[in-house]
Amino acid sequence: MPINVTLIPGDGIGPSITDATVRLLAAAGADLTWDRQLAGMAAVKEYNDPIPDATIESIKRTKLALKGPLETPVGKGFRSINVALRKAFDLYANVRPAKSVIPGLRFSDVDIILVRENTEGLYIGIENYIKVGDDERAAAQSVAVVTRLGAERIHRYAFEFAVLHGRKKVSLVHKANILKLSQGLFLDVGREIAKEYAGRIEVEEKIVDACAMELVMRPERFDVIVTTNLFGDILSDLTSGLVGGLGLTPGANIGKNAAIFEAVHGTAPDIAGKGIANPTAVMLAACQMLDHIGDTALGTRVRNAVENTLRARKTVTGDIGGTATTEQYTDAVIANL
CA 170 to each of CA 44, 49, 194, 235: distance values in angstroms, whole numbers, following the listed order: 41, 40, 9, 15
Helix axes 229-242, 208-217, angle to 10 degrees: 10
Q: How far is the CB of 10 from ligand NAD (least distance, A)?
A: 6
Which CB, 100 or 249, lies closer to ligand NAD? 249
Q: Enter the DSSP assignment of 323.
A: -
Query: Of residues 15, 52, 184, 266, which one binds ligand NAD by CB under 6 A?
Result: 266
Closest CA to 242 of 82, 79, 101: 101
State yes or no: residue 72 binds ligand NAD (CB under 6 A).
yes
Residues making up the chain, counted from first to last:
337
Maximal CA-CA distance, the chain: 66
| CB 94, CB 120: distance < 8 Å | no
Query: Of residues 39, 172, 277, 333, which one binds ligand NAD by CB under 6 A?
Result: 277
Query: Of residues 19, 35, 71, 295, which one binds ligand NAD by CB under 6 A?
Result: 71
- Which amino acid is it at 219? P
Site for ligand NAD in 304-323 (CB under 6 A): 319
Q: How far is the CB of 317 from ligand NAD (least distance, A)?
A: 6
Which CB, 190 or 322, lies closer to ligand NAD? 322
Site size toward ligand NAD (CB under 6 A) is: 21
Q: How far is the CB of 326 from ligand NAD (least distance, A)?
A: 8
CA 292, CA 164: separation in Å to the nearest integer? Answer: 13
CA 306, CA 281: separation in Å to the nearest integer? Answer: 10
Q: Report which residue's Cβ sits closest to ligand NAD.
A: 266
State yes or no: residue 69 binds ligand NAD (CB under 6 A).
yes
State yes or no: residue 86 binds ligand NAD (CB under 6 A).
no
Q: How far is the CB of 167 from ligand NAD (least distance, A)?
A: 25
Site for ligand NAD in 166-225 (CB under 6 A): none
Stretch that binds ligand NAD, among 101-109, 117-125, 267-275, 296-304 (CB under 6 A): 267-275
Q: How far is the CB of 289 from ligand NAD (least distance, A)?
A: 15
Residues 6+ apart with CB under 8 A from 311: 101, 102, 103
State yes or no: residue 37 binds ligand NAD (CB under 6 A).
no
Alpha helices in the chain (DSSP H): 14-27, 41-47, 53-62, 81-88, 148-164, 182-196, 208-217, 229-242, 280-292, 296-312, 326-335
Query: Of residues 6, 18, 21, 82, which one binds ligand NAD by CB under 6 A?
Result: 82
Query: Of residues 258, 265, 309, 331, which one binds ligand NAD by CB under 6 A?
Result: 265
Q: Tell how far CA 331 is from the center of its chain.
A: 25
Binding interface with ligand NAD (CB under 6 A): 13, 17, 69-72, 82, 246-247, 262, 265-271, 277-278, 281, 319
